[in-house]
């Protein structure tokens, strides 16, 4: 198939893909917009016919005088032309409004699909896979801003009905009023213009899609510069010029090759299409003029010339449809690519448990949680985090995990929570593979606070109750968890108490200090414990507390979590010394383990790191932080 044939086939296939999304807009709305565009296509043709008839009858009407049948014919033709023009002007705003409604409905459904795909995987591997972030970012950006969205593509496709209807109407007028060869020539000229426009735009869009990663990077720098999160550091550290240079470099990284491709694709080829179109249009115009000299009546001559000019105008760029139908589906293709990639992450099944078989209910650990010969690497990474990791977390006790940055401490939490599954080996609870439990049932047994815990822009009560969403309305339990975490008094003092939104930009809202937010996160975990969780996982739970506040907290924390299986990750050895059992990770393996006293006596890596921190904090002065509430 030649280039033209492939382009035509691609264009037709693209139109069908867009049409496949129209049911999302609803049959009634789609039909209304289609009928409106059909009328908008017919009205310009009716205007040309009516004005041509009017102009053709003027000489005889002038000769016959006012009140004659000829004069009435001119008046009626003028009335029809005026009515067609007025109706066209009235329908245009309605077309725009209905098109916007179609776009919003379709984009809303596509956004639902994107969110469903993001949440469909029981783990977070697809959301951290670098190969998918470009597709996810491109889809989310276009759907959010909407200028080149799938919904705009659907509205643009329906808007094409008006253009196509007008073109076919003009061609029919030329054929009936003059000659069909002339109609064919004008149609060929318009199609040549349109091929230059759409064919070039199609190839141009393919070039733009190649640079999705660079565009995402430039958007990152732009949003970083315009956002409030980084505003303080940008100004204090003098990063304004650096940020401007980074944004300019990232922007030019993709815009320069796109500009070059646009010149190559659009400039020279479109010159040839223009020459051909003008030649065909000139031939028809000259032929029509000669026919007029040979005796063609004025009505036919004016009709043909107006139809030729009207048809040629339809070879132009269509601002309501061209960019939308060409680029709008890029976001949908990105959504489809992300959906398919998410589906390629199947839920893992343990040996001996066929997929789909009824799984046992998750219960609280009675003996131990064990990592057996676990090998794991993140998607797209060649270096494994764990390569044959073996460790045991005793049930009903507090186990601390320590190690230098990059030792794999947080990854252990992700595997325990089944946000990822190991590529080899297994994580077992009392001998049962975690993958044998329903994911939701096992997670209901977990109370996890990550180092980068979420700060929800909702009420203080909901921020705590999200630890067990099925008990969201249990205010007494929320207050008890807040009291356990030492944050109840602070939250009560807010303008609306526990109902205060924890977001300063929300009306009536308030923000908390870093230490106070950490206590809210701890209350969230304690709320989960009070609601049936039996395994508590804390990743750097007191990073925002000073050393003495941290020590006081853990004195109370031991009492609150006496019967829970606790996994504590911290870089502060003043914290982990309270644990029953301490595991030192190094390069993805257990380097040493034991109680604090045992590890100190061994004088190994743990003892070395403990003494370094003890020396550093030995001379610390007490910190007067009245914003913190201690327990």
What was the pLDDT predicted at 350? 56
User: Do 406 and 462 belong to one domain?
Assistant: no
How many DSSP H helices and E strands does the chain contain?
Answer: 24, 10
Indicate the pTM of the whole model: 0.71
- 34 falls within a domain: yes
What was the pLDDT predicted at 594? 92
- 289 falls within a domain: yes
Residue 226 lies in domain: 8-344
User: Do 188 and 281 belong to one domain?
Assistant: yes
470: burial class by Cβ within 10 Å (0-12, 13-18, 19+)? Answer: exposed
What was the pLDDT predicted at 483? 92
Residue 89: how many CB atoms within 10 A of its CB? 10
What was the pLDDT predicted at 460? 94
User: Do 501 and 569 belong to one domain?
Assistant: no
Which secondary structure element, helix H or strand E, spans residue 12, and what is its range?
helix 3-19
Chunked mean pLDDT (size 10), the chain, 631 residues: 62 83 94 95 94 88 82 90 93 92 91 84 77 70 70 92 95 90 87 76 71 79 81 78 88 84 71 71 73 73 87 85 80 81 66 56 83 89 88 91 81 90 91 86 87 88 91 92 91 93 87 87 90 87 66 68 83 77 88 91 87 65 40 27
User: Do 497 and 548 belong to one domain?
Assistant: no
Bridge partners of residue 392, in order along the sequence: 370
User: Do 75 and 190 belong to one domain?
Assistant: yes
Structure tokens at 421: 């599954």
Question: What is the distance of C-alpha 475 from the center of its chain?
Answer: 35
- 350 falls within a domain: no
User: Do 258 and 180 belong to one domain?
Assistant: yes
Whether the Cβ atoms of residue 27 and residue 102 lie closer than 8 Å to each other: no
What was the pLDDT predicted at 269? 67
The CATH number of whichever domain residue 471 belongs to comes to 3.40.50.300
Which residue do the tokens 């009824």 mark? 358
Cα–Cα distance for residue pair 447/529, rounded to 1 Å: 6
Cα–Cα distance for residue pair 571/476, rounded to 1 Å: 34
- 349 falls within a domain: no
The CATH number of whichever domain residue 92 belongs to comes to 1.20.1560.10
Strand blocks (E) in 310-397: 368-376, 386-394
Bridge partners of residue 604, in order along the sequence: none
Q: Number of folded domains in the chain? A: 3
User: Do 523 and 585 belong to one domain?
Assistant: no
- 490 falls within a domain: yes
- 628 falls within a domain: no
For the CA atoms of 539, 540, 545, 550, the dihedral, rounded to the nearest 10 degrees, stands at 90
Residue 73: how many CB atoms within 10 A of its CB? 18
What was the pLDDT predicted at 500? 94
Residue 592: how many CB atoms within 10 A of its CB? 16
* Residue that is last in its domain, among 478, 511, 532: 532
**DSSP characters over 551-579:** HHHHHHHHHHTTTSEEEEE-S-HHHHTTS
* Residue that is last in its domain, among 474, 498, 532: 532
User: Do 113 and 239 belong to one domain?
Assistant: yes
Cα–Cα distance for residue pair 123/120, rounded to 1 Å: 9
* Residue that is last in its domain, among 477, 510, 532: 532
Residue 491: how many CB atoms within 10 A of its CB? 30
- 352 falls within a domain: no
Pick the closest to residue 338 from 152, 514, 171, 141 (CA basis). Answer: 141
Structure tokens at 276: 């051909």
- 45 falls within a domain: yes
Cα–Cα distance for residue pair 85/141, rounded to 1 Å: 39
Pick the closest to residue 484 from 537, 431, 529 (CA basis). Answer: 529
User: Do 90 and 21 belong to one domain?
Assistant: yes
User: Do 555 and 470 belong to one domain?
Assistant: no
User: Do 335 and 481 belong to one domain?
Assistant: no
Give the relative orientation of helices 200-210 and 212-226 as an angle to the nearest 10 degrees: 70
User: Do 505 and 586 belong to one domain?
Assistant: no
């Amino acid at each position: 198939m030649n280039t033209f044939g492939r382009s035509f086939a691609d264009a037709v296939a693209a139109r069908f893909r867009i049409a496949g999304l129209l049911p999302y807009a609803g049959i009634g709305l789609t039909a209304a917009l289609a009928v409106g565009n059909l009328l908008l296509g017919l009205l310009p043709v009716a205007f040309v016919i009516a004005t041509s008839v009017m102009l053709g009858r003027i000489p005889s009407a002038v000769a016959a005088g006012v009140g004659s049948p000829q004069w009435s014919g001119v008046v009626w033709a003028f009335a029809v032309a005026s009515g067609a023009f007025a109706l066209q002007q009235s329908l245009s705003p309605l077309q725009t409004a209905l098109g916007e409604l179609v776009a919003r409905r379709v984009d809303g459904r596509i956004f639902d699909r994107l969110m469903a795909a993001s949440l469909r995987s029981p783990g977070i591997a697809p959301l951290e896979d670098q190969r998918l972030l470009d597709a996810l970012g491109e889809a989310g950006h276009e759907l959010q801003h909407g200028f080149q969205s799938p919904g705009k593509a659907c509205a643009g496709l329906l808007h094409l009905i008006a253009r196509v209807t007008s073109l076919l109407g003009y061609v029919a007028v030329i054929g009936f009023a003059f000659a069909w060869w002339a109609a064919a020539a004008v149609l060929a000229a318009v199609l040549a213009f349109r091929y230059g426009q759409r064919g070039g735009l199609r190839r141009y869009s393919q070039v733009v899609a190649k640079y999705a990663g660079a565009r995402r990077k430039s958007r990152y720098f732009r949003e970083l510069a315009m956002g409030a999160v980084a505003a303080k550091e940008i100004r204090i550290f003098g990063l304004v010029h650096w940020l401007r240079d980074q944004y300019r470099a990232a922007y030019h990284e993709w815009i320069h090759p796109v500009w070059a491709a646009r010149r190559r694709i659009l400039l020279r080829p479109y010159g040839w299409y223009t020459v051909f179109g003008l030649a065909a249009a000139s031939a028809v115009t000259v032929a029509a003029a000669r026919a007029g000299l040979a005796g063609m009546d004025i009505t036919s001559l004016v009709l043909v010339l107006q139809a030729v000019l009207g048809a040629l105008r339809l070879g132009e760029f269509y601002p309501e449809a061209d960019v939308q139908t060409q680029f709008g589906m890029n976001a949908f293709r990105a959504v489809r690519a992300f959906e398919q990639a998410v589906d390629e992450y199947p839920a893992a099944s343990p040996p001996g448990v066929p997929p789909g078989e009824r799984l046992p209910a998750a219960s609280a650990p009675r003996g131990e949680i064990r990592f057996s010969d676990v090998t794991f690497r993140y998607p797209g990474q060649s270096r494994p985090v764990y390569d044959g990791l073996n460790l045991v977390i005793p049930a009903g006790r507090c186990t601390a995990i320590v190690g230098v940055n990059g030792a794999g401490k947080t990854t252990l939490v992700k595997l325990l929570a089944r946000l990822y599954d190991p590529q080899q080996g297994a994580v077992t609870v009392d001998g049962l593979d975690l993958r044998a439990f329903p994911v939701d049932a096992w997670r209901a047994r977990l109370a996890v606070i990550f180092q980068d815990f979420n700060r929800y822009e909702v009420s203080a009560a909901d921020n705590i109750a999200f630890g067990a969403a099925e008990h969201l309305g249990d205010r007494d339990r929320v207050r008890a968890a807040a009291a356990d975490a030492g944050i109840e008094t602070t939250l009560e003092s807010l303008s609306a108490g526990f109902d205060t939104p924890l977001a300063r930009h929300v009306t009536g809202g308030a923000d908390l200090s870093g230490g106070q937010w950490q206590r809210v996160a701890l209350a969230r975990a304690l709320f989960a414990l009070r609601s049936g969780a039996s395994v508590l996982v804390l990743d750097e739970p007191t990073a925002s507390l000073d050393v003495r506040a941290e020590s006081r907290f853990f004195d109370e924390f031991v009492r609150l979590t006496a019967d829970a299986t606790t996994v504590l990750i911290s870089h502060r050895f003043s914290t982990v010394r309270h644990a029953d059992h301490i595991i030192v990770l190094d390069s993805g393996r257990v380097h040493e383990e034991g109680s604090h006293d045992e590890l100190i006596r061994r004088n190994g890596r743990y003892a070395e790191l403990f003494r370094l921190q003890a020396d550093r904090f030995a001379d610390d002065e007490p910190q007067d932080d009245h914003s913190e509430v201690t327990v």
